[in-house]
Each structure stands twice: as structure tokens, then as C-alpha cells.
Amino acid sequence: MSRIHLLTPRLANQIAAGEVVERPASVVKEVLENSLDAGATRVDIEVEAGGSKLIRIRDDGSGMAAEDLPLALARHATSKIASLEDLERVGSLGFRGEALASIGSVSRLTLTSNTSDSGSQGSSAACEGREMEVQLKPAPHPRGTTVEVRDLFFNTPARRKFLRTEKTEFNHLEEVVKRLALSRFDVAFSLRHNGRVLHNLKPGLSQAERQRRVATVCGPAFMDQALFVENELTPLRLWGWVGLPTFSRSQADLQYFFVNGRVIRDRVVAHAVKQAYRDVLYHGRHPAFVLYLELDPAQVDVNVHPTKHEVRFRDSRAVHNFIFSSLHRALADVRPGGSAEAGVGADGASQDALQERLGDGLAVNTATGEISHQGGLAWGAQATAAGGFGAYRAPAGPAPGQAREQLRDYGRLHPLPDVAGEEEVPPLGYALAQLKGVYILAENARGLVLVDMHAAHERITYERLKTARASEGIRSQPLLVPRAVAVSQREVQVATEHAGLFQRLGMVVEVAGEESLVIRQIPVSLRDSDVEQLLRDVLADLIEFGSSDRIEGHLDDILSTMACHGSVRANRRLTIPEMNALLRDMEETERSGQCNHGRPTWTQLGIEELDKLFLRGR
């Protein structure tokens, strides 16, 4: 080993760049965040060759004075925080003061800036990744800043080798722009690649303008099948859009979560969302969402990761519970006539609204073929402005159990009403006929309703079984031979703290020693499950997230299977009164918009769509 010496500034910056500047997308993230911190109302992004050749970002923010430019390029120089107290309640996106220095050490960087509009000259500072010497000279620029980054990694060939194809790099970069565009509806964004304008997002804070931007960034199909949610439990506020369970994805690629305007990935948040969707999504499918959590900045630590993609909540349990319960409630109301249902074509607006949303001169997501199809038939719930909470109704207390008998009784219990005045027509209307023993055809105020009768009945039966369990309790039985489980001291402690949770779910778990638990009693329906593994998983959840729904999950899976077997099969002839009874039950049942596997249970074909099929009124 040689003697200790200080690193040169360039090498120190290049090491820091290793953490912060992974690829062109990271440059765009840092530079855009600076623009937003500078109060920009418009940012224009120009990129060549996926960003590795050129990234130029221009904003109309506060700008920088000539004498500040060299400082902006120096490491550990920031205007955003000055003290530890500031760090503990950061309001800006940046605060580490090392992004520009890092970028400058691995590229040819030029800053051009001006703090005033009044015709005075701006100045520019260039630095070439050499010894971090800055050349300063006057340059014309309106108020604001332009940051130009050329030839990224030109002097760090090892890094350069890690870059992927132009297309891949650009995709990453575009994703960064999308995230930031979703974080600030009040700022205009434009993105150009190799001379072609790809996005041109107008600013706006009205609900319609926000929805337009989400539709542009996430695709109109998402907006069409998303619920607007809004919930506040001081000091926490959550709002945004969640995809209907029937709009699930095969990948977790449409998930945006913002904490105080900063996009983050967080295990606690991910777990809470997943738990909220548990009962309505098929295994292996992923929900889509764009959600905003707002809380006191002092309640969240953003200084945990150099790229600030992670945060730490002071009270992660409260955050978890809040997110879970907000979304769970909203999703429970996804049923015909529920507040979560508005339906494409309610006013025949789907097609036009989509067209309008798309007509913003945007080149993205113009998968027109797909859109016109979606617009017509999709069972869309567009956000009612107030969101899913105001009109939330408790389940109408259906008779528990009786899955099998229930259908036989339909006709008797629910006679068809004689009148059908306009306003009295229920959301799913009245049955007309049965098609191929699978679908119910019904007429409502908007036109034709199609119901998958097995899927619908399965959900109704399942919800009834769950209600019954809630009122009658879970049947549980002692194990013939109690099962000892070796665990850690921490797990013993957590099991003791949550003894109530286990008890409520029919599981008796006792402490048998400092590092040992014993399972004495389990729910009857979990007889054939691996309860030891279940206990371990639950304890792991409790330690990490402060809550666990695994036992409910297992119990629900079993009820779901029972419901499937107990439900009316395809190819069973139903009478008109039976069909009407099923429609009424759907309207009353929580989550009845999708079956237990997350498939839709019904769809609407409005009279306008029918007219179009026959070219009527043209």
C-alpha cells in the first residue's frame, strides 16, 4: 500500500458520479429537479442519441448570477439548505449539492443563466470534465437557465460501456420525464428526441387538466378505467388515481407514488397498496396507480439514498394503515351503481372525451385503434369528481351462508317490479334474456347490459361468505399435538404484541420460551395449510410493515374456492326473476364489479354504441 493522500477534486467528483449518474436518465432527473427547485413554470428538454450525445434542458426559473455559476459546479455547494434543521425538513428536491459537480466530471457541461428579464446579459460557465476548472463568459439568455450536457462518460470509458442501446437509454430518460411531469401539473414540459417533439404537456391545475396529463402520460385506457381517490386523516393526505382491478397489468410498470412531490419506491407503500388490492386482483397481476401522499416534511426522511428514490417514514405503520384503508375502501365500492362506477358512455362522452384528451397535439399513446375499441366497450369508471368516499355504502347485510340455496330462492325473494319509470331503473336495469347459458342480457337507462352470470354470482357468494365469517367468527380447533416453532427473540416479542390479531383470526399462539412459540389452535379451514410457514410469514410482515393480512388472505382463498364451487355454473337456465335478483344483488355487493379473480363481471353497450354499429344517425 502507498501513503494516504487526498483525492483530486475531479476523482472525488467522479466517484460521487458513480452513485448519482448512472446513465443519461439520471442526468435528466438531476437537471430537471434543479429547474423545478428554481421555480420554473416551463422546461424544455432536448435530447440526441438517447441522451449520450446531448442533453439540453432549458427552464424559466430564477436563474443564477454569474459569480454563482462556478459554485453551482463545485461539490458540496448548494443554495437549498444551510443547517441540520433544514435537512430535517427538506422542501426542495435537491439538497446534496453534488449533482452538477458529478455530471461535470463525466461530461462536457455548460451552464448558461440569467437572473433577470430586463435585457441584461446572462453568463455561461463551461467545464470539461478535466480538472474541474470553470471558464466563465458573458452569454445572452432570458431569465432562467440552460444546462447542456454533451458526450456523457466521454472520459470514463468503463462507464460508457455500460450504456445500452439508444432506444433503451431514451426509454429510461422518457420515464424520468413522465414521473416529473406527473409530480408537477402546474409546470409545462416538452421533450424532443433527435429533433422530433414527443411530448408537449400543457400546465394546469384543474381536475380536467390533471386528468388530461395523466391520460397522456399513462395512456387514455388507464384514465378511463381509473378511480379518483382522495382521503385525509390529518396530518396525512392521499389523492390520485387507482386503476380498476379489471385494468390490472402483467408487470408493475404503471405505478407512480409521490411523497410530497418526490417520486419514490418504498416497500411499506408497495405492501399497503398490494394489500388493498389483494381481494380483487388475480395472483401475479399488478395494479396500476398514480398516487400522491402529502405529509409534514419532518415526518419523512429523504436523506437515505443518493438518488433520493427511497425515503424513510418516521411512523411507517401509520402511513401503511392510512394508504391501505383509503384504497381498500375505494375499491370496495367498485360495483354497478356504486360511487366508483361512472361508466364510459354515461353521457355518450367516452369517444369524444378521449378524442378531446388526445387532441392535445401529443404524439404519445396515440394507439388509436385500441382507444376506439376501449372507448366503446370497456367497463370504465371515470372518476366522479368527489372520489370514491362520499357515497360509500356499507354492505347491505345479505343473508349469510346459503350459497347453494340462494339461487333457487331468487325468484321467490325478489319479484320483478311492474313499473319501470326512467329514474327508477336500477343501474343494471332489468333482465331481457339469457345468452348461450353464460350471459345475462339486460336493459338499463343507457342501453344494453351484459353480465357474466357465473363471475357475478361467484363474487356475490364470496362476499356473503366473508360477511358470515365476520358476524359468526372464525371456527377454530385445537391442534392434537401443539406445534413448537423456533423463532428469534424479536419474533417472540412481536407475536406477544399482536396476540389479539392471531386470536381474532382463530389462531392461538403462545410463548414457549425466549426463542420459541407454540401454535395451539388454528382455524378449521386452515387444517391442510402449512401453518408454521404461515406464522413465520406473518411475523416477518409484522416486523417489516406493522401489519399482516396473510391469515385473512389464506382464509379468503379458501372461501373463494368454496364460492366458486357454490356458484351458479354456466349452462344453467335462469328464469327472468332469477336473473333480476342476481342483478339486484350485484348492485348491493361490494367489489361486485369484478369476479374473485379480477375479471369484469359486466359490461355496458350504450345505445350510442349500438347506433354506431348500425351506422344510425349518420
Question: Which residues bind to ligand ADP, rule: CB under 6 A?
Answer: 30, 34-35, 38, 59, 61-64, 72, 77-80, 94-101, 145
Residue number with CB closer to Mg ion (94 or 144):
94
Residue number with CB closer to ligand ADP (183 or 326):
183
Residue number with CB closer to ligand ADP (87 or 252):
87
Nearest distance in Å: CB 153, ligand ADP: 18
| Residues in contact with 505: Cβ distance below 8 Å, sequence separation at least 6, in sequence order | 474, 523, 551, 552, 555
| Residues in contact with 437: Cβ distance below 8 Å, sequence separation at least 6, in sequence order | 570, 571, 572, 573
Distance CA 466, CA 315 (A): 31
Nearest distance in Å: CB 89, ligand ADP: 16
Nearest distance in Å: CB 264, Mg ion: 17
C-alpha 405, offset from chain centre: 40
Residue number with CB closer to ligand ADP (118 or 471):
118
387 binds, among ligand ADP, Mg ion, none (CB under 5 to 8 A by kind): none
256 binds, among ligand ADP, Mg ion, none (CB under 5 to 8 A by kind): none
Residue nearest to Mg ion (CB): 94
Q: DSSP per residue over 582-607, as a string?
A: HHHHHHHSTTTTB-TTS-BSEEEEEH
Cell numbers 368527489 label which residue? 386
Residue number with CB closer to ligand ADP (140 or 437):
140
276 binds, among ligand ADP, Mg ion, none (CB under 5 to 8 A by kind): none
Nearest distance in Å: CB 57, ligand ADP: 8
Residue number with CB closer to Mg ion (81 or 555):
81
Q: Are 105 and 10 in contact (CB under 8 A)?
A: yes
Nearest distance in Å: CB 314, ligand ADP: 23
* Identity of residue 306: P
59 binds, among ligand ADP, Mg ion, none (CB under 5 to 8 A by kind): ligand ADP
Nearest distance in Å: CB 43, ligand ADP: 9
Nearest distance in Å: CB 67, ligand ADP: 12
64 binds, among Mg ion, ligand ADP, none (CB under 5 to 8 A by kind): ligand ADP
**Any bridge partners for residue 146, and if so which?**
58, 112
96 binds, among Mg ion, ligand ADP, none (CB under 5 to 8 A by kind): ligand ADP
First vs last C-alpha separation in the chain:
85
Question: Residues interacting with Mg ion, by CB under 5 A?
Answer: 34, 94, 99
Q: Burial code of 538-561, b = ≥16 C-beta within 10 A, e = fewer? A: bbebbeebbbbbbbbebbbbbbbe
Tell me, letter by letter, the H, E, C secondary structure of 517-563.
EEEEEEEHHHCCCCHHHHHHHHHHHHHHHCCCCHHHHHHHHHHHHHH
72 binds, among ligand ADP, Mg ion, none (CB under 5 to 8 A by kind): ligand ADP
Residue number with CB closer to Mg ion (34 or 374):
34
C-alpha 258, offset from chain centre: 9
> Residue 565 is placed in which grid cell?
364451487
Distance CA 345, CA 604 (A): 8
194 binds, among Mg ion, ligand ADP, none (CB under 5 to 8 A by kind): none
Residue number with CB closer to ligand ADP (79 or 321):
79
Residue nearest to ligand ADP (CB): 94
Nearest distance in Å: CB 95, Mg ion: 8
* Identity of residue 305: H
Distance CA 54, CA 264 (A): 27
